[in-house]
């Protein structure tokens, strides 16, 4: 993993922010399961997950696409077992530190599409803005609307631009 002096690895989202959110979200996902398991051992899962979160965050944020892709598969399956965040009504999750790290780790050549409304939710803009961006060629179109990869690429570019002006 490449690190600049004094820079948190994992790009502008920062590994520590990703690790904190990962520990919180994984704990929130397992607490209900631990409660119904009946055995006291599962009640220790949130603490174990909190200890594992920094290492998993480093995997998600690393420059090795294979390693980060493997990590994102596990994280997404654990946090979003029914479907992706945008398809269960939470497209804004992708703008969180963990969401951005997961988006960064996904295949940049993915041609699967999302609707204009979902793309707007992911980017936090209006559908009209998405239509303008698609018309200008700033977002790639797909048969379903806009390619997920182009939405995530735009999100990452905006994040990098914001971090340079901060």
pLDDT in tens, 93-104: 999 999 999 998
pLDDT of residue 117: 96
Is 90 part of any domain? no
Give the span between the Cα atoms of 166 and 162, in whole angstroms.
Answer: 6
> Which domain covers residue 128, as residue numbers?
107-166
- Summarised one tens digit per residue, pLDDT across range 19-45 is 999 999 999 988 888 778 777 777 788
141-142 and 113-114: which strand pairing? Answer: unpaired
Which residues does 3 contact at the CB level (< 8 Å), separation at least 6?
9
pTM of the model: 0.83
Which is it for strands 145-147 and 113-114: parallel, antiparallel or unpaired? antiparallel
Inside any domain, residue 7: no
Check residue 9 and give its pLDDT: 44
- The contacts of residue 147 (CB under 8 Å, 6+ apart) are 110, 111, 112, 113, 114, 139, 140, 141
Domain count, the chain: 2
Boundary residue ending a domain (84, 99, 131): 84
Are 75 and 129 within one domain? no
Q: Which residues of the chain register pLDDT less than 70?
A: 1-13, 163, 166
Question: What pLDDT sits at residue 8?
Answer: 45
Nearest alpha-carbon partner for 46 in 29, 71, 58: 29
Q: Does residue 71 share a domain with residue 16? A: yes
Q: Are residues 114 and 147 in the same domain?
A: yes
Instruction: Give a yes or no: residue 91 inside a domain.
Output: no
Judge whether 17 lies within some domain.
Answer: yes
């Amino acid at each position: 993993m490449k690190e600049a002096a004094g820079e948190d690895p994992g790009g502008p989202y920062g590994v520590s922010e990703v690790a904190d959110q990962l520990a919180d979200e994984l704990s929130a996902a397992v607490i209900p399961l631990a409660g119904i398991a009946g055995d006291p051992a599962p009640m220790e899962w949130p603490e174990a997950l909190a200890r594992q979160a920094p290492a998993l965050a480093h995997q998600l944020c690393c420059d090795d696409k294979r390693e980060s892709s493997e990590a994102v598969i596990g994280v997404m399956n654990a946090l979003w077992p029914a479907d992706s965040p945008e398809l269960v009504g939470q497209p804004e999750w992708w703008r969180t530190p963990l969401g951005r790290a997961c988006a960064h780790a996904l295949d940049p050549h993915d041609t699967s599409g999302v609707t204009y409304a979902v793309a707007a939710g992911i980017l936090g803009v209006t559908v009209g803005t998405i239509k303008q961006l698609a018309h200008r060629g700033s977002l790639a179109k797909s048969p379903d609307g806009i390619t997920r990869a182009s939405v995530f690429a735009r999100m990452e570019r905006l994040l990098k631009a914001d971090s340079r002006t901060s």
